[in-house]
Amino acid sequence: MPPLAQVFDSALSPRSFAALRKLLEKEPLLSVHAERRHKVWSGDPRGSRTLLCEAPMSSRTWAGKVHNLLAGLDLGIRWGRLSARVYRYPPGSFLRWHADRDGYRGAYVFYTHGSWKEGDGGELLVRGAGRILPLPNRLVVLAPGPRHRTLPARRERHSVAGFLL
């Protein structure tokens, strides 16, 4: 059984990470509240400023890069496909405690913002695994089931997140 949370720092080479960030900057984003996903994102202090982009795997170059990144790691999890979304969280936003839905083999978040330091907030808290700072180019893979949340961030935070299916 895999650990509750696995952390991979410098998941991509600096050049690949910069290229991925450039691709993500071009993505059109929608409010998470446009999809009525407001239960988890109720921590968004400005109502509807947390943004996302759904990723059909066949049409998003960045989604393929994330797939290849995950496929190249020994996660101790058998999976065949993944979901992927780009998120931009405004300052002050956070996610409440929640457990992700059943029917997946793991979840992941890959932090794609620029610099980040301890005082910027936005930490991922995973029950039973502790506190994880959202450092750039850090990939976090969660086993199915643990309750988790994010603390409010003091600056805009970017990520790609989804599920291993």
66: enclosing H helix or E strand: helix 61-71
The total of structural domains in the chain comes to: 1
- Sorted by sequence, the CB contacts under 8 Å of residue 60 that are 6+ apart come out as 27, 84
Tokens of 69: 């990144």
- What is the chain's pLDDT, residue by residue, as a tens digit (165 residues)? 679 999 999 999 999 999 999 988 887 776 665 555 444 444 444 444 455 555 444 456 788 888 899 999 999 888 888 888 888 888 888 888 989 877 889 999 999 999 999 999 999 999 999 999 999 999 999 999 899 999 999 998 999 998 998
pTM: 0.86
The CATH number given to whatever domain includes residue 119 is: 2.60.120.620
Q: Which of 165, 159, 161, 106 is nearest to 137 (CA)?
A: 159
Question: Residue type at 114?
Answer: G
- Number of neighbouring beta carbons within 10 Å of residue 56: 8
Residue-range definition of the domain harbouring residue 58: 5-164
CA-closest candidate to residue 133, choices 160, 147, 106, 115: 115
